[in-house]
Structure 1
């Protein structure tokens, strides 16, 4: 266990963590006490740079002198959203930490940390910032510059983080995510059809290109480089073929929204997370279509008449290089360029791409999946191949992963050190590993790769069997049918949420408090930042007014009397009274004339 001693802004960190060896159902080791708990190919070693960060960790960048800059998940103050780490004695472990950066008025959560042309770039939900770095200086004393501001009104707070990457010509690429599954008329409402054409695509659901050296920009100063991409978090520029690459998060909720069309198994494994070579003008097909990795083709979304097989106009949209299984959450991408460095990797990894799969939340009733670092080898021309490998696994520490909160670690950020080493950051504890190769590079090959290929049999990586991997096989759905279909995808089967976007129901003051308030949340939905058990969340709780009063009473009674909760039941009459009150208020608002200035 690590001990953190705080004196001003300097923390001395002891970074040892041990694990007990365990076996999975198929005999493969899940976690060991070596390599900080990671499973790596023979010849690789992992050092724990820091065991935990108080503000946790998302993405990171490593400077030429080895200093590490990490985007905090939870800043102590909103103007301290960057964590700087330094190793002063050369043992690979951080012994100095300082926290700084950002603006007090801004939401600290974001998804970017890059070093480009001597500047440290990072983002919040709505802004991209930068500091000029000076040699030898851990915390820059240069003024904070705002490079880009997202000036759109955001009624929905999904997919608005700002990942960034840069080309070789002074351009910065920034996705603007779309807060919807498929541009429905009523977001997250069962059987709601999609709007055609989708108005969101005018300023969201794509990637925009900006001048990396200009400050004070908004979206109108940029150029829409690609469209039809719902949510991009993992993105990098490949300097070998001089092209942008990105991974799209596929849509969610096929079962919740279209239970009569898709089975629980289809909803768990579809649609694919798409790995694109993003050229100027690319259209990825969102919201009209999705990619089915098992059929190897794009098909129409059900909001636009699809049934899981209909191709229609989906045939005209860009196909991915690789379609990874659904909900793996690809959250960082790095083209590796360190094969010639001292601690660099064997030639097999030259120009290949590492992908951090943060892990799913909505695969119930099947095991959650992802939670590993994948690798896509490069072809001779430097472009990614269509094959992929498991590079680092064991982050979750359990098999199977029933609830996302069961996972010990969830990989998020990847960065390369000046010596060719690979850094990996995770979100649950704020742990960071440094991976180096210490074996004979000339001997690396088939045997080591075959060893890692066996990891694909783990339940967090393989495509689940429809029957044997169903965690509800032979017993009632956890939480009843209503909870299992409409609630468990976000709040999880154990009611603990996912620690990132979706809050816990267990011990929640929102669940255990005023019943009228709780019923109102289910009927009207809830958007914007809230606090649950002392932690902030900023996602969307969709309205569930389409459920009848009995279903709402049943599911609210369930969450108030399970997960360690012991509150009294919610009755059908109480739900009916709140629904009537809301309907009456809405009717009055519709009839009340709008006041106009004379």
Structure 2
């Protein structure tokens, strides 16, 4: 056996240590896009579009230690549910784009994506996977491991966000398939079930082993409860604690129109920023948080009326409250050094934007920052990145050009943001001397809080339905009342009712398109309405203008016992174009 001198062994050891401790090569910051790729940013922050659009769009994303970007696709196909991006010339823009991970249950709602201990973790609606990352290959070439399988069928609020502590645990949220645990979900007036049985398997966060394969929910620990829907979740290493920004409940006016107005439904309840410890109970489905009264109130499904406090004080209270329906869809505690020191350990939150504040403008569609110290916010929330929607007033969510979704930090401390409508990804970095950052750089962003997407809407002045109902009533009397009757109940034989009709107010998003298509293209039976058969002919009304169709549908959807969002001329125009311009 050949012997080696001690000096030789020391030299080999030294080379080994040096080889594994040399930090990655630093590259200069890229040149920012003109107008920061459409974003408004504070002071000397700049942005570059890593990619302008992705086939399949995007949900969440994660950035590896070498700068490779991994994006969870919103609409996967047979070539893959994820996409990998690499910038080989360091200009900030991806020049290699590859789809990967063809798994059976891709779905359009599964959302989680995180890089953790050299693995890429990502979720579908029912599964959590991981695969070993290999910086040399970009696309992971290791096996796809199933870490967690949800035995329940996919349902609303089934997002599966992921977070990891420093003790080998993975945290997964299980959203509840209900608005407030009613006897009949989303049926107006349906009361809540006492001792809500959904809380056994839903409406909370479970803790699992981060590396053990083939786990099920029963193998985990229910870490927290009383959370209807969580998509934004992160572990704060500064105080070793889990945090979430939870979605509040919906449809106060739709469910209980005698107790809540359209304005109240638009501004209530708050989206809650919550510090989560083991055993935390946030109070769903019994309570919601009123940001104006600054307390938890009893839900109407359990006897509440917008005033009753009940036992709300015994549940976990938010550390900060945001406006209703802004849709917080990612949370990131910033640990990098590229940004000025004030951002260290603070929280970035991506708000996807509201869908159900009608008849008032939709709101959100931005990324905010909350300064933190010792696990507590040290100031008010700030607008960090805005301009995603492409307009100051968003009437319908489909009007928003971009909707921010995912957040991730790059190895140099840059912030990456993904959005869902086109699959665009931005990289944001600070240009200049970080030590000379002052609060003055925030002043222009603070002024943006006066825009419609951030202000509390005025009850009368900001009601977009004002004037539409009167015009809609005249159009209804002219073109619709002869068949569907003045009271909207039909004739009980040939002509179906519009009152409570699923063709008018049924699905949460697509009912508008359905109703618009019926007016444009007509309808010939047989059809079923409210489970009763009808067999008649409704002629085309495509001679009506986009504005006229919007007004008459808005009238129908807000009369005869119906209580739904307004229809806009732009929505009609879009459907008309899809129908061949007729």
TM-score normalized by the length of structure 2: 0.79
Aligned to 1:378: 372
Q: Distance in 2 between matches of 1:313 and 1:270?
A: 19
Matches within 5 A, 1:521-532: none
* Structure 1 residues 220 and 512: CA distance shift in structure 2, 3 A: farther
Matched, 1:128 2:137: no
Corresponding residue of 1:68: 69
Over 3 Å counting, the alpha-carbon distance change for 1:62 and 1:149 in structure 2 is same
8 Å CA contact 2:175, 2:203 repeated in 1? yes
Whether contact under 8 Å (2:62, 2:114) holds in the other structure is yes
Deviation at 1:478, TM superposition (A): 9.2
Whether the 8 Å contact between 1:72 and 1:109 is mirrored in structure 2 is no
1:551 deviation in Å? 4.7
The residue aligned with 2:547 is: none
| Aligned twin of 1:589 | none
* CA distance in structure 1 between the partners assigned to 2:270 and 2:450 by the alignment: 19
**Alignment partner for residue 347 of structure 2, among 353, 367, 374?**
353
Which residue of 178, 184, 187 maps to 2:185? 187
How do 1:28-107 residues align onto structure 2 when only pairs under 5 Å count? Answer: 34-77=35-78, 80-107=80-107
Match of 2:203 among 202, 205, 215: 205
State which structure, 1 or 2, has the greater radius of gyration over its C-alpha atoms: 2
Superimposed CA distance per residue, residues 374-425 of structure 1 (whole angstroms, 9 cap, x where no aligned partner): 111012x243346211000010011210000111000000110001100011
Say yes or no: does 1:390 pair with 2:383: yes
* 1:123-159: CA deviation from partner (whole Å, max 9, x where unpaired): 11000001011232201111111000000245xx201
Return the match for 2:453 from 447, 460, 470: 460
Q: Is the 8 A contact 1:102 1:108 kept in 2?
A: no
Please say if 1:178 is aligned against 2:176.
yes
Q: 1:142-541, aligned counterparts within 5 Å? A: 142-154=142-154, 157-339=155-337, 344-379=338-373, 381-385=374-378, 387-476=380-469, 487=505, 490-491=508-509, 495=512, 506-507=516-517, 515-517=525-527, 519=529
User: Does the C-alpha gap of structure 1 residues 64 and 554 become closer, same or farther in structure 2, counting only changes over 3 Å?
Assistant: closer
Counterpart in 2 of 1:563? 572
Runs of at least 5 residues in structure 1 that lack an aligned partner in the other structure: 1-14, 19-32, 497-503, 524-546, 567-598
The CA distance in 2 between the partners of 1:554 and 1:127, in whole Å, is: 36
Question: Any idea what SS the aligned residue of 1:73 has?
Answer: strand
State the SS of the aligned residue for 1:398.
coil
**Structure 2 CA distance for partners of 1:269 and 1:278, relative to 1, 3 Å:** same
- Measured after TM superposition, the shift of residue 521 of structure 1 is 8.1
Counterparts in 2 of 1:448 and 1:292: CA distance versus 1, 3 Å: same
* Preserved CA contact (<8 Å) 2:32 2:46: no
Query: Aligned in 2, Cα 1:99/1:519: closer, same or farther, shift over 3 Å?
Result: same
The aligned length equals 494
1:60, distance to aligned residue in structure 2 (A) = 0.3
Q: Distance in 2 between matches of 1:299 and 1:136?
A: 54
Distance 1:461 1:91, change over 3 A: same
**What is the CA-CA distance between 1:247 and the residue it aligns to?**
1.2
Aligned partner of residue 405 in structure 1, secondary structure: helix
1:118/1:514 CA distance change after superposition, 3 Å = farther
Deviation string, structure 1 residues 39-88 (Cα, Å, up to 9, x no partner): 000101100111000110100000011000000001122x6101000001
The answer to whether the 8 A contact 2:39-2:387 is kept is yes
Would you say the 8 A contact 2:31–2:91 is kept in 1?
no
Q: CA deviation at 1:458?
A: 1.1
In structure 1, the residue corresponding to 2:458 is in which secondary structure? coil
Secondary structure at the counterpart of residue 220 of structure 1? helix
Residues 1:456 and 1:522: Cα distance change in structure 2 (over 3 Å): farther
Between the aligned partners of 2:526 and 2:184, the Cα distance in structure 1 is 24
Return 5+ residue gaps in structure 2 as ranges. 1-29, 474-487, 489-498, 534-555, 577-582
**1:416–1:423 Cα contact (<8 Å) kept:** yes
CA contact (8 A) 2:48 2:92 kept: yes
TM-score of the aligned structures, taking structure 1 as reference length: 0.77
Aligned to 2:4: none
Deviation at 1:519, TM superposition (A): 2.7
User: RMSD over aligned Cα, in angstroms?
Assistant: 3.2
CA contact under 8 A between 1:505 and 1:511: conserved in structure 2?
Answer: no
- Quick check: 1:228–1:283 contact (8 Å CA) kept in 2? yes
**Secondary structure of the residue that 2:398 maps to in structure 1?**
helix
1:181 Cα offset (Å)? 0.9
Residues 395, 407 of structure 1: 8 Å contact kept: yes
The structure-2 alpha-carbon separation of the partners of 1:443 and 1:315, relative to structure 1 and needing over 3 Å to count, comes to same
Asked whether the 8 Å contact 1:376–1:389 carries over to 2, the reply is yes
